[in-house]
Structure 1
C-alpha cells in the first residue's frame, strides 16, 4: 500500500471544497477518512481532485470577469438604468418648463383681474375671475407633475446607484472566491505532483493498526497564557520488534469562527527521556526515534503545550501518530491520526476539568511493558494516513492542518530514511 498516497489524497480532499470531498472519489463519499476505507487512493484519484479544484478556480475566474463586466456596463451611456435616469431627468426638465409657464399664466390672469376698470361689466369681471381660477388649477397640476417628475429622477438615480454598489460588492466577493480557489488549486496540484514524484517509493510501507499512539493528561480546555504538560504513549502492540519508531505530534488551532489560524500562538514541545529540558517538535512534526521498540512494549514521551497570552478563545486539536522503520527496510505507521480536541479559553479564564478525548481509537495498553525511548538525531517522516472519525469540528480543523502542514512536505523524510538504511 502506498502510504504517502493515502495522506496526499486526504490532504487534497481537505483543501478542496466540501462538494469535492463527496465527488472526487467514492473513498470519501461515506464521510470516512481515506485510510479507513477499503479502496486504495491512487494517482488517478489525485488527478480527479486536482481537476475538480481547477474547475472551481476556472469558474471563480469566470464569475470575477462577469462581475467586472457588469460594473463596466453600468458606466456606459447606453446602459438601461443610465438611459432611464436620463429620460427621467429630461421629463423633469419638461415638467419644470410647463410649471414655469403655468405659474406665469396665473400671474398674468391675476394681473388682468386686478386691472379691470371700475366700470367693468359683470360679464368682464366673471370672465377675468374664471381665467384666474383656471390658471390656478393649471398651475397646481403643473406643480404636482413637476414633483412627480423630480421623484422619478431620484428613484431612477437610486436604482442605478444601488446596482453599482451591488456590482462593486460582487466584484469584491468574486475576487475573494478566486483567491481561495487558487489556493485550493495550488494545494491540489502540489499534492498530485508530489504523489507522482514519490508514488513508487513506499510500496514496502504498510499501515500498522497495532502501532498505537495515545495522549493522556491533555486538558479539554487550555487557558491562554498557560502551559500544560501531558504524555504521549507509543505502543508496539505487534509480535515483532520495531527497530526505529518515530512519534508524530501536531497541534492546530483557530479562533471560534474557525477561520483565523492561531498557529503562531500555539507551541508544542517534548522532553527526551528523563531529561528536564524541552525541545520543540521539529518542522516536520516528529520527535527523536525510539530505538528499538520491542514487541508488546510502550514508551512514554513528556509533552508540553503552550498557548500565548494574546490568543483569543477558540478551538484546537492535537494530532498524534507513529511511523516505524526496520533495519531490513520494512516500514509503516499508524493508519490514522488520533485527534484530541480541546477548547482555548481567553486569558484569565478558570481552567475546566477533564481531559481531551481521542476521536478515533480508545487507549488500550493492558499487559504492555514500559520501555524507555532511546534518542537519536531528529529525523522527519511521513504519516501512514490522516483523518478522524466523523466530528465536524475536527474535520474543519483537519482541513486547516492539511493546509498548514503542506501537501508535499511530509513525504520527503522517508526517502531520506530509506537512503540511511540502504
Structure 2
C-alpha cells in the first residue's frame, strides 16, 4: 500500500498547511505561493523517510473536521450579519430613510416658497393705478421677502438632497460589502468541506487493504502541442506520451489529464467549461474522459518504450477570461496485481475570451510536479468527428481501448484535491506580479 501512504502523506501535509491556502483568492496568492511549494515538497520528500501512521491520518482528519466545523459556524455568523445589513431597520438604512424624509420636506417647503413668490409678484402686478405709495412699497417688500425665502428654501432642498444621496450611498456600500464578505465565507466553507472529504478518504484508504503500489518517478507522462493561450469557444488537439523508464515491463498504464481554471479574479472556478476527449490507435473514435480523469490506457510497455494518446479539448464559448493549469500524470497495474504511478506535472495556460485572436501563442511547457488533480470528475463532451491516430513505431507498445481497472490506487483522487486547490490562485498571483513589474 505504498501509494496510499504517499497520498496519506500529502493529505497530512495539506491539512497542516494553513487553511488560507484553500481560499483561492488573488489577494492571498502571494502569501500562499511559498506555502504551496513547501507543502508539495513535504509530500514528496516525506515518502523517502517515512509514511504517516493511521494515528497521524486520524489526527489530520480530526483537524479537517474541526476546520470544517469552524467554517460552518463562521458561515452561520456571517449569514446573520448579512441579514442584519440587508434589513430595512438596519441603522444605516434607517438613517438613509430619515434623510430622504428631510429631503421630501425640504422639497415641499421649496414648492411652497416658490408659490408664495409667484403670488407676491402677482399681487404687485395687480395693484391699481390708484394704489398709494405705501401700498406699492408693501407689495414690493412682500416680493423681496418671498424671493429671499425661495432662495433659502432652494438651498435647504439642495443640502437635504445631497444628505439623502450620501446616506443611501453609504447604506448601499455597506450592503454590498456584507454580501462580498458572506461570499468569501461561503467559499471558505466549501474549501474546508473539500479538504475534509479528502482527509476522510485518505484515512479510509489507509485502513483498507490494497495492492502493494509504489511511486514511480521514472514513469513519464508528457503533453505536447498544448498552447499557452486558449480561446474560449475553441477546440484544441494535442497529444500525450507515456514513457516507461521504470526498468521493468508494464502491462497497462492509465494516463490522467485534468484542466483546472478560474476567472481573472481568482474567485470563481470554471473547470466545468472544459470538455476533454481522448483517442488511440486501438480505439480511434473520440471518447469522453471518464471517472478519475483517465484518458484511456497504454500497454503493454517494455522498459524504455512509449505509447501515445491523442487529446481534444473543447472550451465553452461562455467561459470568462482567466488562467488555469492542466495536470498530467499516470498510473499502472500489472497482471500480477503490482501497481504504481507518478505525481502530476503542471502545464500553465491563459484562457482568453471568445473571439480573441492572440498574436503569438507558444506551446506551454511543463512546470513543477504536484500531487495531482483537483478532483476526480470527468471532463468530457460528445463528438461525432473520429480521428485516426496511425500506428505506433515498433517497440512502443500497443494502445489499449479500455480504461484502468478500479484496482488502481488513483493518484488523482486523495492527495490532489488538498494540494491543488490553491494552485490556480498562486498562478494568478504570479501573473499579476509579472504584469505589475512590466
Q: Deviations over 1:243-270 (max 9, x none)?
A: 5453222131658647463645532303
SS of the residue corresponding to residue 305 of structure 1 reads strand
Deviation at 1:337, TM superposition (A): 0.5
Q: What is the Cα-based RMSD across aligned positions, in Å?
A: 5.0
> Matches of 2:236 and 2:200 in 1, distance apart?
39
1:297 alignment partner, SS class:
coil
TM-score (norm 1): 0.65
CA distance in 2, matches of 1:130, 1:196: 99
Q: How does 1:41-190 map to 2 (within 5 A)?
A: 43=57, 44-45=59-60, 47-49=62-64, 51-52=66-67, 54-56=69-71, 58-74=73-89, 79-87=94-102, 89-90=104-105, 125=133, 131-132=138-139, 134-170=141-177, 172-174=179-181, 176-177=183-184, 179-190=186-197
Q: Which of the pair has more CA radius of gyration?
A: 1
Structure 2 CA distance for aligned equivalents of residues 61 and 54 of structure 1: 11
Contact 1:246 1:287 in 2 (8 A): no
CA distance in 1, matches of 2:121, 2:286: 97
Question: How has the CA–CA distance of structure 1 residues 253 and 351 changed in structure 2, closer, same or farther, with 3 Å as cutoff?
Answer: farther
Change (3 A) 1:266 1:316: farther
Q: Which residue of 1 aligns with 2:344?
A: 337
**Which residue pairs with 1:194 in the alignment?**
201
Please state whether the residue corresponding to 1:215 is helix, strand or coil.
Answer: strand
> 1:269 aligned to 2:284?
no
Aligned to 2:309: 302
In 1: Cα distance, 2:114 partner to 2:29 partner: 67
* Cα distance in structure 1, aligned partners of 2:125 and 2:327: 93
Query: Structure 1: how far apart are the matches of 2:359 and 2:105?
Result: 71
Report how many residues are paired. Answer: 376
State the distance in 1 between where 2:158 and 2:28 align.
50
Aligned partners of 1:199 and 1:293: how far apart in 2?
A: 29
Unaligned runs of at least 5 residues, structure 1: 118-124, 362-368, 398-422
- Change in Cα spacing, 1:269 to 1:333, as seen in structure 2 (3 Å) is same
TM-score, scaled to structure 2: 0.63
1:314-329 to 2 correspondences below 5 Å: 317-325=325-333
> Residue in 1 aligned with 2:373?
none
What SS is found at the alignment partner of 2:308? strand
Change (3 A) 1:318 1:107: closer
* Structure 2 counterpart of 1:383: 411
The residue number in structure 2 matching 1:213 is 221
Equivalent residue number for residue 365 of structure 1: none
Contact 2:257 2:329 in 1 (8 A): no
| 1:372 equivalent in alignment to 2:397 | yes
- Cα contact 2:275–2:315 (8 A) shared by 1: yes
